Structure 1
Amino acid sequence: MSSPGRESHLRRRDGQLPQLSPALRNLTLSPLPEAHYVVIGIDFGTTYSGVSWTWSKAASPDQIEQVHKWDVDSGSARNQESDKVPSRICYDDRGKVLKWGYMVSPQDENQAQWFKLLLSEDAIDQGGAKVLETKRVLRKLKKTAVDVTADFLRCLWKHAIEVIELALTKIAVDNMTFRVVLTLPANWKHSAQELTKKAAIQAGILERRLRGETTFRMVTEPEAAALAAWREAGMRWRPDLQLGDSFVVCDAGGGTVDLISYTVKSLEPLRLEECVEPTGDLCGAVYLDERFESTIRTIVGEKVYDQLDVDVKAKLFENDWEFAAKRKYGGPTKTPTVYQVDIRGYKPKKSGLFGKRPSSTILLEQGHLNSIFQPVIGQIVDLVRSQVSEIRETTAKKPKAVLLVGGFGENNFLMNQLTKTFPVPIQRPTNAWGVISRGAVIKGLSNSVETETVTNFISKLSYGVLHNSRFNPSIHLSADRFKSRLTGEILAREQFTWYLKRGTSVSKIIPVEYHWTRLLRSSWDLEGIQEDIWVSDQKIPPTRLDSGARKLCNFKCNFEEDIYIQLKEETAVDGISKYKELDYTLDMKIAAGELNWSVYWRDQKKGAAKVIVEYE
């Protein structure tokens, strides 16, 4: 909005409650008309990414296909069939894409990994050595995080479309529209969400097709996981699950671990409500990789490790870690588990195991493994504990289950620790690694808000506007008091009205509306009107402007000059000056993960903006 010091600054009409927008008060939502379309779910992950899909004429809603064949180099044939592909990409010195996914070899120069974390300011500092190396490569190639993400998504998208065309034929796919759903970590801020969407657009995913526009939505990873896990983890067949019961979804991925909890509001059809503020942290499986590397460095020595060939390190991570101890270790046992790790070129001074062990082999014993796993898994257990405690406090009963999904969710140590810690069933889908992209497809099958499985969200930010209010000594600070030079009213400057408050359960259907008044000195003032949307991450948002709030975005209102003529002229308190009052409404409604802000004057739309909702 315009500068708070100006007399034309926004003033809220007092004593009103949020109302439905006039244009939407009698709106009846109906499904989209039936048409042939393909739904594509993209799970863009820190370390691995996956794609699932279905189409409108599939035999059943459960018929969701997963892309599981990927282009590989001859030396990596074992990875040709997999539910996911590595989130890696390699460039030549001019910045042209050479390879991606499984085709990227450890010795390839100019390769980028973990670049997803570069989209989030909060994640950059916790990305470790691989993020630092990727930042170095991007500086060298003069590319941004959005550029490299777009390049990778373009490769992933092209491959997925080729797979779909092989299944349905190219001519059939060309005559269908696309519904694309891209998943995001639940704790990402607006800036990271916007950068991800920008990368998707740059990758060509939203390009118009022969049969019409491609619809694009974003959904949090835990919500997508919940939708698929409900079907695949046996939750819907549990006879003890009743209306009002809750469950936790723990999405343990490569970089982030997100938790979200739902209460069952309807079983047929399934309707879920978020019941507490979700949580998340950067404690995914990649942090096990860093601890594993640190352990190997300690065992063989820094100098020896740094001199190891790149291929040796790659084999070490892939064969002896990624597909061995990392996935199979189940935690401390009475009979300690020992893993042999072969490091070609390593020659220890002493040979262990009574001299029978090859000199290049080291042993990862239980103590080593516990030091790798315990800190990271301990963080996840604490996150689950906090979520369970919040559910008990909010619903007065414990959750019926914890659904464990994501690639790290397949780890037995994590599964065992959760089972020991919490007196509720820990359930895991058959394929926890690929569940998120399948859930994204289920999300994309929803035709309208009325068919959404999750009917609300818990906002993790407050959203509102800054304005002047009539001064109330019992509410406002004397420092904010001032007298209007036009109306003579005693006002409080720079006060907030929050349309949506943090922690609030918000319906995806009902919009919120407030009425506002602006004072205009001339028709020129109509041209400078803009609406500023503010946010606060404080549990109790500020009532007046301070450091606890920040401006999120603004949008210009298109008030025609001839509107000024239609407004009634008023005389200022000085008896000389003239002004007019512009009364209008600013409403906010929620759709597909966005807050839609609109300005109306006499039921005519004069401005609008879409803001991606930062929801838990």
Structure 2
Amino acid sequence: MATASGSTNGMAQSIQTEPYVIIAIDFGTTYSGVSWTWSGDLDSVQPIRRWTDALNGSDGTYTQPKIPTKIRYRRDRPTSEALWGWNLNDGDDENEITFEWFKLILNYEALDERVKVSPRVKSTFEKLETIYNRDNAIPGAVQITTDYLRLLWKSAVQAMVAKEGRQFFHDLPCKVVLTKPAIWSPQACFRTRNAAKRAISRNLEPFGRLLALELVSEPEAAALAVLNTPVITQRPDIIEFGDIYLVADCGGGTVDVISYIVRSLDPLRLEECVEGTGDLCGSIFIDDEFEVFMSSRTHIPWESLEPWERQDIMLTQWELGIKQRFSPRPHQTWQVRLRGRRQIYNDNHIEPLFQPACGKARGLIEQQVGRISAKMGRMPKAILLVGGMGSSEYLSFQLRQQYLGEIEIRQSNDDQPWTAVCRGAAMAIALQMNIGRISRCNYGFCYTGTFNPRIHTMDDAIWDNVTKQQLAPVMEWIVRRGDVVRHLLPVMTECTEIYRYPDQISSGIFRIPIWESPREGADERKDQYVRELCAIDCFLPGVFRTTSTTHNGIEGPHLEVDPQAVLRFFTSLPQFINRKNEVYRQLDVDIIMSPRGQDLHFDVCFKGLSLKTEFRWPGNRGQRQDIPVELEPVRLD
């Protein structure tokens, strides 16, 4: 394949004018939440706090802004009867199996090996292998995600209808935004979006139709929630052009740290400052430390406690009590009640439980501060703490001590840090916020080009039977790692395929692979870091015919290749004659890449006409024509 590239300016679409609802889903590793607003009152984003149909108290309702990302299946019943939410006892039995942490399996191939062998991720993957077999463990995680999001969606919609009435939402179209970690891979984005679409599209009632389903990174959403509030935007002394903010999204399972620089105040426009990082060190690991601590301290063996007793200690007394309020204070004591007895603990008992996870989180923040200082020559103005662990008094205390007089530590009260991601995700869609994002990989095409001894080795050399000369694979990167895409600038690349015989296109389809590399400074050489991300299946024009076939007793239309049409198409292509006077046919197409939101969108054109295409991912195939990556969404003015 030979290529050349150029670029043209793109056109923005018109703003949605009819009334619509925006629903934001914060799909977390350990807890999930939903917020919503509508086009008539975009400034008012309302978190769902009343959950029904989740397994919990006797009234079947729980009032918290988040609900556990946990689902239980009865082995002998269909998945539609799955239980979810609060008070699902730990462990499985012969009749039931419970899944947690399945979100991380969506990104399994990109997980660090250390994360893959961590107890929770390893246990979840082994369960999936048992239920779905080894080859289908990841598709199994997609199915479980679909089931969980369906239950979450239905409960949230039920709460919305209970508050506003069914008539308020009747036939209104809706836009849905789903959060994702900042370091989510393109394939994980693809799986997440597909699961959400399957969960929502069949349960749209009372809404009219689904206008859009988009993904937004979690720390980005949190930054919008914190910085786009009247108390900040209406105070020029608080936020200024060029300010740098570090967002620490400290969730239940993972901690994401990323930084943004303010590029505009009206409208608020942010741009990634340096590339973000993350790790598996969320608040659940503090819970683990507490449970191990309690198992050695209770006057009754921990294993012999009734499930409801452990639940009372871990949720009511710990999660909603000690864990949220703890910070080192002289003479402060903490108590745990069990079967009429009180056990008293002091700071020396409790602080070591926080140190491993909070220490890792502080390490990520310190690393990000160092990168900002090295690149920008100055510290960030403030560190914004969000997420479940972001509300920890202990973490904020430690950071204030560490950066005293250098960086301001901002932490909201109540459940604001916990719901920041969800509220910010709704704002991102409602206000069409403009975030300049940094691409975390190189994306491009590979073609056969001239062997260059300056960059190629003899292992790269290939003999080309068409041109009768020594060539080598050459990479053409259309997006590079570290690029910040601030405008809609489509890139057009020419692609040439050479064929000797009509049989080579007898399927009516030709394939264009898309490659990626995480290496900074990637050059033209196809080195060991380059891998095929996915491929575009392109359907040749005019070679398919519609026939009527019967499948499962139902007659319907079916596309099949017309061999005579393929032959006519082949002979219509221009000739290419090599040095030995061998005649080939040359198929020239244009590939047009354009950033759209967080995606790279691809069109393939032949003689100016757009071809039908399908994306082929490893183990999956779909109609989407784009790749989810970290790119800037276009502001619709």
TM-score by length of 1: 0.85
Aligned match of 1:128: 119
Residue of structure 1 aligned with 2:333, choices 313, 338, 355: 338
Residue of structure 2 aligned with 1:114, choices 80, 101, 112: 101
RMSD: 3.0
Aligned match of 1:37: 20
Aligned match of 1:444: 429
Q: Give the alignment of 1:428-467 within 5 angstroms.
A: 428-430=411-413, 431-446=416-431, 451-454=432-435, 456-467=436-447
Q: Deviations over 1:527-558 (max 9, x none)?
A: 45201111122223364334312211112122
Aligned match of 1:471: 451
Give the Å deviation of 1:491: 4.6
Give the Å deviation of 1:379: 0.8
1:315 corresponds to 2:316: no
Question: Is the contact between residue 568 and residue 581 of structure 1 (CA under 8 Å) also seen in structure 2?
Answer: yes
Aligned match of 1:306: 303
Q: Distance in 2 between matches of 1:406 and 1:522?
A: 59
Q: Distance in 2 between matches of 1:95 and 1:224?
A: 38
Query: Any idea what SS the aligned residue of 2:63 has?
Result: coil
After alignment, is 593-602 or 317-326 more displaced?
Answer: 593-602
Residue of structure 1 aligned with 2:174, choices 172, 178, 182: 178
Question: Is the contact between residue 465 and residue 532 of structure 1 (CA under 8 Å) also seen in structure 2?
Answer: yes
Give the Å deviation of 1:130: 8.8
Q: Distance in 1 between matches of 2:222 and 2:598?
A: 16
Which amino acid counterpart does residue 91 of structure 1 have in structure 2? Y
Aligned match of 1:12: 3
* Structure having greater relative contact order (Cα 8 Å, sep ≥ 6): 1
1:92 corresponds to 2:88: no
Question: Is the contact between residue 145 and residue 195 of structure 2 (CA under 8 Å) also seen in structure 1?
Answer: yes
Give the Å deviation of 1:300: 4.6
Give the Å deviation of 1:410: 0.6
Distance 1:512 1:395, change over 3 A: farther
Aligned match of 2:549: none
Query: Any idea what SS the aligned residue of 1:368 has?
Result: helix
Q: Deviations over 1:370-410 (max 9, x none)?
A: 22111111111111111112222222222111111111111
Q: Distance in 2 between matches of 1:481 and 1:584?
A: 26
1:55 corresponds to 2:53: no
Question: Is the contact between residue 41 and residue 51 of structure 1 (CA under 8 Å) also seen in structure 2?
Answer: yes
Query: Any idea what SS the aligned residue of 1:529 has?
Result: strand
Distance 1:98 1:472, change over 3 A: closer
Which amino acid counterpart does residue 7 of structure 2 have in structure 1? Q
Question: Is the contact between residue 458 and residue 503 of structure 1 (CA under 8 Å) also seen in structure 2?
Answer: yes
After alignment, is 518-527 or 589-598 more displaced?
Answer: 518-527
Query: Any idea what SS the aligned residue of 2:200 has?
Result: coil
Question: Is the contact between residue 508 and residue 591 of structure 1 (CA under 8 Å) also seen in structure 2?
Answer: no
Question: Is the contact between residue 254 and residue 407 of structure 1 (CA under 8 Å) also seen in structure 2?
Answer: yes
Aligned match of 2:575: 569
Q: Give the alignment of 1:147-158 within 5 angstroms.
A: 147-158=143-154
Query: Any idea what SS the aligned residue of 1:503 has?
Result: coil
Question: Is the contact between residue 101 and residue 120 of structure 2 (CA under 8 Å) also seen in structure 1?
Answer: no
1:589 corresponds to 2:594: yes
Aligned match of 1:264: 262
Q: Distance in 2 between matches of 1:19 and 1:594?
A: 17
Q: Deviations over 1:100-125 (max 9, x none)?
A: 22364569953333332333322863
Q: Which runs of 5+ in 1 are unaligned?
A: 1-9, 345-357
Aligned match of 2:554: none
Q: Deviations over 1:283-304 (max 9, x none)?
A: 1111111111122233359x92
Give the Å deviation of 1:521: 1.8
Distance 1:163 1:305, change over 3 A: closer
Query: Any idea what SS the aligned residue of 1:102 has?
Result: coil
1:189 corresponds to 2:189: no
Q: Give the alignment of 1:202-601 within 5 angstroms.
A: 202-205=198-201, 211-232=208-229, 234-236=231-233, 237-300=235-298, 304-330=301-327, 332-333=328-329, 335-344=330-339, 360-422=341-403, 423-430=406-413, 431-446=416-431, 451-454=432-435, 456-482=436-462, 484-488=464-468, 490-507=469-486, 509-526=488-505, 527=508, 529-541=510-522, 543-560=524-541, 561=566, 562-575=568-581, 577-601=582-606
Question: Is the contact between residue 486 and residue 574 of structure 1 (CA under 8 Å) also seen in structure 2?
Answer: no
Distance 1:75 1:193, change over 3 A: same
Q: Distance in 2 between matches of 1:391 and 1:227?
A: 20
Q: Distance in 2 between matches of 1:458 and 1:385?
A: 20
TM-score by length of 2: 0.82
Q: Which runs of 5+ in 2 are unaligned?
A: 542-565, 616-624, 632-637
Q: Distance in 2 between matches of 1:277 and 1:50?
A: 27
Distance 1:373 1:606, change over 3 A: same
Which amino acid counterpart does residue 424 of structure 1 have in structure 2? I
Give the Å deviation of 1:509: 1.5
Q: Distance in 1 between matches of 2:275 and 2:212?
A: 28
Q: Deviations over 1:184-222 (max 9, x none)?
A: 111222333233223213323476777444410111111
Corresponding pairs, count: 573
Q: Distance in 1 between matches of 2:322 and 2:71?
A: 26
Query: Any idea what SS the aligned residue of 1:465 has?
Result: strand
Distance 1:189 1:407, change over 3 A: same
Distance 1:106 1:232, change over 3 A: farther
Q: Deviations over 1:537-593 (max 9, x none)?
A: 222336433431221111212233455444332322113x11233332223222122
Question: Is the contact between residue 328 and residue 411 of structure 1 (CA under 8 Å) also seen in structure 2?
Answer: yes
Aligned match of 1:354: none
Query: Any idea what SS the aligned residue of 1:299 has?
Result: coil
Question: Is the contact between residue 12 and residue 468 of structure 1 (CA under 8 Å) also seen in structure 2?
Answer: no
Give the Å deviation of 1:65: 1.4
Distance 1:166 1:202, change over 3 A: same
Which amino acid counterpart does residue 473 of structure 2 have in structure 1? E
Give the Å deviation of 1:11: 1.9
Which amino acid counterpart does residue 259 of structure 1 have in structure 2? V
Q: Distance in 1 between matches of 2:6 and 2:29?
A: 41
Q: Deviations over 1:401-436 (max 9, x none)?
A: 111111111100111111122221111234111111
After alignment, is 92-101 or 268-277 more displaced?
Answer: 92-101
Identity among equivalent pairs (%): 30
Aligned match of 1:355: none
Question: Is the contact between residue 110 and residue 137 of structure 1 (CA under 8 Å) also seen in structure 2?
Answer: no
Question: Is the contact between residue 242 and residue 264 of structure 1 (CA under 8 Å) also seen in structure 2?
Answer: yes
Give the Å deviation of 1:40: 0.2
After alignment, is 508-517 or 31-40 more displaced?
Answer: 508-517
Question: Is the contact between residue 232 and residue 429 of structure 1 (CA under 8 Å) also seen in structure 2?
Answer: no
Q: Distance in 1 between matches of 2:291 and 2:34?
A: 30
